[in-house]
Chain A
Amino acid sequence: MTLGTIGADEKVVLWQYGEVAHDMISTKTLGFWLYMLSDALVFAGLFAAYGVLDHSMNAANGPTEAQIVHPIAAFWQTLAVLTSVFAYSVATVAVKHGYRQLVVLCVLAAILLGMVFLGLEFSDFADLYAHGATPQVSGFLSAYFILIATHGLHMAFGILWLLVMAIQVSRLGLTAPVVAQLLNLRLFWQFQAAIWVCVYVFVYLKGVI
C-alpha cells in the first residue's frame, strides 16, 4: 500500500499510454451538481433570514404573514411550475430517443408555463404594492419579498437558459455539449420547482395555519 519494493517477477505499469478517458458529460454534471449545492445554500440562508424575520415583532405594525399570503392563489403558481418541470421532463425523454423537434416543442412549453408562473407572481406583487405592502414597510415584508423575488429571478434566468437551449437544439442538434447543457438545465429547472415547494410550504401554507 505505502512504500514497498517490487518483487522479482512483479510487473509494474509506470505510464498510462493512450488517451486517459475523462467522461466530459459526467464531469460537467458533477460540476453542476456542486453549483446547485451552492445555490441551495443561498436559499438556505434566505429561508433562515425569513425564519428569523417572520415574527410579529418584525412586522413593525405593518401587515403580518397571515394578512398577505393567499395559498389558493399561489397554488396556481405551484401548478404552473410543476407542469413546466413535467414538460421539460418529456423533453429529456425526447432527447433520449433523439426526437429533436419534440425536444424544442417541450422546451417551448416549459418556457410558456414558466412565464405563466412569473406572471402570476408579478400580479401577486402588484396587488401587495397596491395595498401599500412594500418591502420597505418592515423587516418581515423585506424577507418575504426578497425570498420570493430571488426565486423569481432564478426562474427568469432559467427561462432565458431554456430559450438559449431551444435555439441550440434546433441549430446545433443534439450534440454532446448540447445534451450536457440540457441535463444540467434539467437539474436547475427541477431544483427551482423544489425550492418553490419549500416556499409554498414555509411561506404560504405556514402563513395561514
Chain B
Amino acid sequence: MFVHLQGPYSFLFGRLTLASIPYDNAIIQFAFGFAAIAAILVVAPVLYYRKIPYLFREWLTTVDHKKIGVMYIILGLVMMFRGFFDGLMIRTQQVMADGPHSAGHLEAAHGYLPPAHFDQIYSSHGTIMIIFAATPILTGLGNIIVPLQIGARDMAFPTLNAISLWLTTVGAALVMASLFIGDFSTAGWVGLIPLTELDFSPSSGVDYWMWAIQISSVGTTLNAINVIATIVAMRAPGMRWTRLPIFTWTTLSTSIIGLTAFPILGVALALLGADRYLGTHFYTAGLGGNLMLYTNLFWIWGHPEVYFLVLPAFGIISEVIPAFSEKPLFGYVTMVAATFAIAGISWVVWLHHFFTMGAGPLVNSFFSVATMVVGIPTGVKVFNWLFTLYRGRLTFATPMLWAVGALFLLLIGGLTGMMLAIPAVNYTVHNSVFVIAHFHCMVLLIVYAAFAAVSFWWPKVFGFKLDETTGKLFFWSFSIGTILLFTAMFGLGFMGETRRLDYLYNTQWFPALVIEEIGVGFYSLSVLIFFAMLFVSIRDRVKNAASADPWGTSRTLEWLTHSPVPFYNFAVTPHVNSRDELSWRYLNNLAATAPEHFEEIHMPNNTPVPLIIGALAFGFGFGLTWRIWWMTGFSLLGIIAVVIYRSFARDKGYHLSAEVMTQLEREPPLGVIAESQYLSKHPLTGAGAH
C-alpha cells in the first residue's frame, strides 16, 4: 500500500540512519552549538532555582488564556529569531555570490552555501516567518487581549486553547528538528509542485515541511473555533456588538478566515501526502495529475492567510492610535465594515499569485479587479486612522511609533500591491524580487503592529512598562534596516533580479546588494537592542511598575483590571456602558470605583492533557516524516485514547470563595498571575494566611 522507497529502512527507526544527521556540516555545527548554548542558558536557571515543578504546574499544564497567549508569543519570537537568522544567511550568501569571480568558501562554488543548503534556508525562512512567527504572535495577542476586552473570565474552551498552543509548538519543533536530523524542504515555503513530489524530493525534507504545517494548522483551526465561540458567547453584560473593541472585531474576522481557509490547506497538503506516501497522482507531472490543482488549493488558503495575519495588525493599530491621540477612533462602523469587506474579498483574489498560469484574459481580469477592490476598504481604514490622528493630542510613545511606522509600510506595500494587481505589470515582474519587497512591506507591517502590541500591552500582562529609551532605539534601528533593505530590493526587482537565487550572475547588482546587507546589519543590531530592552526593562521593573492603566489614556475594558492581570481577570464582571468603557468611566469620574463586595467565582483546573496530546502529536509527525510506522500508530492511538479518557473524566473546576476574593483584591495582585494553581490547592483561609 505504501510507496516503496530506495535506501536503507529498519522497523525501529524507519528511514532514519546515522547518515541522516549532518554532523559534518560546519554551518550545522555552528547552528547546533548556538542552539545548545541558548538551551543551556534557558534550562540552567530553571534547574538551579528548582523551578521545574513551578514551570509544569503553572505554565506547561495551564489553561489560563493569558499564559497560553504569552507562550504563543514567546514561541513566535523564538521562531522569528530563527527566521531572522535564515534571512541574514540568505542576504549574506547573495552579497558574497555575485558574479563569476566571487569567491567560494566551505563547500560552495560561490559564497558559502551550496545550492541545496541555500534552498532549504529560504524555504524555512518563509515557512517559519509566516506560520511559526507571525501566526503564533498574533494568535497569542488575541488569546491574551480578546477575553479581557470583552470582560470574560477565560476562553470558551480553555483546554482546547492549550491543545491549540501545543499543536502549534509541535509544528515549530518539527521545523527545528529538521535542522539537526535530516534536512528541510528545498521547494520554497509554498511547496513548488512537482518539486515536492517524491521523484524530485525523495528525502525527508518535504515531509518535515508538510507535517509541521499540517499539525500546526490543526491547532490554528481549533484556536479559530475557540475565539469565535468566545466572542459570540462570553461577552460581559452590556458588551453589545456595537460596543465591541476594534481589536476584538478584527480577531473575530481573522478567526472566521482561519476557520474557513486552513481546512483547504489541510486538503492541499493531505493530497500531497497521499502522493508521497500512497503513490497517488493528484499533482504528479504524469498519469493524470494536475500541477495547478495544488497551486490553486494552496493559494485558496494562502491569500486568506495573508489577511488572517494583517487584519489583527489593523486591529492593533486601531487600538494604539486612539490611545495615543486621546481621541475616540474615527469611523468605528466603517472600520468594522472595512474589516469584514477585506475578509470577504480575501476569498476571491487567490489567483493573483499566479497570473502567469495563463488562465486567459477573463479569469485574470476578474482576479485583477477583485484584487484592486481590496484597496477600497483598506483606504477607508487608512483615512480613519489619519482622521483619528488629526487634531489629536499626540504622544509618540514606543507603541505609537510602531503603529505610525506600520502606516508607512502599508502605504508602500499597498501601492506596490496595486501595481502587481495589474496582470500586464505582473507578467513583467513575476517571481522577481520586486514581489519579494512588496510582500515584505506587508508582513513587516504586521511585525510593526506586533511590536506595537507587545510594547502597548506588556504592562498589562507583566505589571511593568518596557523601557522607552531602548524601545525607541529598537524601533529606529529596525526601521533604518527596513528602509535600506527593501528600497534596494525594489530597485533590484526592476533591474531584473529573480527570487531564490543562490548565485547572482549580474555584477551591476552588487552596490544594491551591499545596501541590502547594510540593512540586514541594522536588523542584527536591532536584535541586540531588543535583548538589551528586555534586560533593562526587567532590571528596572520596580521603577517602571504599572498601574491599571499605565498609559493614562487607554480606552477599552482590559485596562480596567489590575496590572498584571490576576488569573481570574476581573474579580467582578464589569457591566459595559459604552464603546470605550474606560474612557467613559474616566469622563464620569467612575474609573476608580471598585466593586462594593466580592462573590464566589468558578475557575477551570489546569490539566496535563494538552501537553500529552502535544507530545503524541510530535511523535505522530516525526514518525510520519521518517516513516517509523510503530511510532505513528502508537501516537495516533494515544491521542484518541487520551481524548476518550478526557471525555469520561470531566473537569469540574474549583471555586474561590468571596473571602478569598476579597483578600486577593486587597493584596497587591503582583505575583498572583503566576500562582493560580497553588491557590487552588491551598486556598487562602483566614486573615493571617498568605
Contact = CB atoms under 8 A, between A and B. Distances in A.
Interface string B626-657: 00000000000000100010011010000000
Of the four ranges (under 10, 10 to 19, 20 to 34, 35 or more), the interface on chain A belongs to 35 or more
Contacts of A145: 280
Contact of A16 (B236, B264, B593, B647): B236
A184 to B, nearest CB: 11
Interface in B141-167: 156-157, 160
Interface in B223-251: 224-226, 228-229, 232-234, 236-238, 242
Nearest to B280: A142
B648 A22 contact: no
Contacts of B282: 49, 53, 139, 142-143, 146
Contacts, number: 176
B280 A135 contact: yes
Contact of A38 (B263, B268, B274, B300): B263
Contacts of B572: 15-17
B595 interface: yes
A20 B279 CA distance: 55
Contacts of B650: 177
B271 A30 contact: no
A73 interface: no
A108 B230 CA distance: 34
B10 interface: no
A1 B281 contact: no
A34 B274 contact: no
Contacts of A35: 225
A193 B275 CA distance: 28
Interface string A36-60: 0111011011101100110001111
Interface stretch (B72-80, B308-316, B574-582): B574-582
Contact of A15 (B280, B286, B575): B575
Contacts of A20: 236-237, 573
A18 B596 CA distance: 13
Nearest to B156: A27
A123 interface: no
Contacts of A19: 599, 602
B287 interface: yes
A46 to B, nearest CB: 6
Contact of A58 (B221, B224, B290): B290
Contacts of B300: 45
A3 B574 contact: no
B87 interface: no
Which 6 A-B residue pairs are closest in the complex by CB-CB distance?
A139-B288, A45-B267, A142-B280, A60-B288, A58-B288, A41-B263
Interface of A: 1-6, 12-20, 22-23, 26-28, 30-31, 34-35, 37-39, 41-42, 44-46, 48-49, 52-53, 57-60, 62, 135-140, 142-143, 145-146, 160, 164, 168, 172, 177, 181
20 contacts: A1-B242, A3-B579, A15-B595, A20-B236, A27-B233, A38-B221, A38-B260, A44-B263, A45-B263, A45-B268, A53-B293, A60-B288, A135-B278, A138-B287, A138-B288, A139-B290, A142-B275, A142-B281, A146-B274, A164-B644
Given A45-B266, A60-B281, 4 more contacts: A20-B236, A45-B300, A60-B287, A139-B282
